Amino acid sequence: MYHKLQYISQGNTIEKQLYNIHDALDSGCDWIQMRFKNQSVKNCFALAEAVKFLCEEYLANFIVNDNVYLAQQIAADGVHLGLLDTKIEEARAILGNTKIIGATANTFEDIQNHIKNGCDYIGLGPLRFTTTKEQLSPILGFEGYHKILQKLKENDLTIPVYAIGGIIADDINKLIESGIHGIAVSGLITKSHQKAKLIQQLNEKLYANVVI
């Protein structure tokens, strides 16, 4: 089963991205999603190559945001697709069956379609307003998560669902109650001055009721 905590990278330069990713890995994060928007092909490749090396060193999962061909080129563990990105079926045809394909969702219908198209996990959000994303989908709030996850249960649909979008540490218990599998966070980890302590606390909460 997939790790429950995913770090979505931040930084406008290769150096800043690498610093943040290395910091997250060093502090105990074992799933990195590389998100490096509006950059040249050369810069994206250079960063992805370095991140892949780091993730292998730390035995962490490494997925690329949006860029299916880059994920294929550097043999990443998979890709995360936004609502307006490459279709899941196309990504699967390019990457093959062994790679992880995650997809963003904002509604129950989105998740239904993603499951039908062979998606491996869902990034459901946003929980609240976030400055990380330029085109923000309608905000779900805790009630939105509860309703959507309840509907999945009623329709016997199972897929790991990650909460995403403006999450703070105090949200975790409420999100777990709604039935999410994990969380995907960016600013929460990037801005923390005690990353190792934060990641440990997040994992303790996320894995509290898991039987290993």
Query: Which domains, from first to last, does the chain contain?
Result: 5-206 (3.20.20.70)
Measured CA to CA, the distance from residue 82 to residue 37 in angstroms comes to 12
pLDDT of residue 6: 98
pLDDT of residue 137: 84
Return the exposure string of 19-36: e unless at least 16 CB atoms fall within 10 Å of the residue's CB, then b.
ebbbbbbebbbbbbbbbb
- For residue 5, the 8-state DSSP code is E
Count of helix runs (H) and strand runs (E) in the chain: 9, 8
pLDDT of residue 101: 98
pLDDT (mean) for 136-157: 95
Coil vs helix vs strand at 186: coil
**Phi and psi at residue 182, to the nearest 5°:** -165, -170
Q: Is the pLDDT of residue 160 over 90?
A: yes
Q: Is the pLDDT of residue 19 over 60?
A: yes
pLDDT (mean) for 90-112: 97
Predicted model pTM = 0.95
Measured CA to CA, the distance from residue 189 to residue 86 in angstroms comes to 28
- In angstroms, what CA-CA distances link 200 with 25, 53, 79, 179, 203? 12, 24, 25, 21, 5
pLDDT (mean) for 52-58: 98
What pLDDT digit, counting tens, does each position of 169-204 carry? 999 999 999 999 999 999 999 999 999 999 999 999
pLDDT of residue 132: 66
Contact, 29 vs 51, CB < 8 A?
no
Q: What angle do CA 167, 172, 176 make, to 5 degrees?
A: 125
pLDDT (mean) for 113-127: 97
> Which residues are 6's β-sheet partners?
184
**Phi and psi at residue 86, to the nearest 5°:** -50, 145
Please give the sequence-ordered ranges of beta strands (E in DSSP) within 89-170, or none if there are none: 100-105, 121-124, 161-164
Measured CA to CA, the distance from residue 55 to residue 63 in angstroms comes to 10
Q: Is the pLDDT of residue 51 over 90?
A: yes
Percent of the chain with pLDDT over 90: 92
Question: SS3 helix, strand, coil % of the chain, rounded to 5?
Answer: 45, 15, 40
- Tell me the two tokens of residue 86: 């490459």
Label residue 130 by pLDDT band (50, 70, 90).
Answer: confident
Alpha helices, H only, 27-96 = 41-57, 68-73, 88-95
Coil vs helix vs strand at 207: coil
Q: Is the pLDDT of residue 134 over 80?
A: no
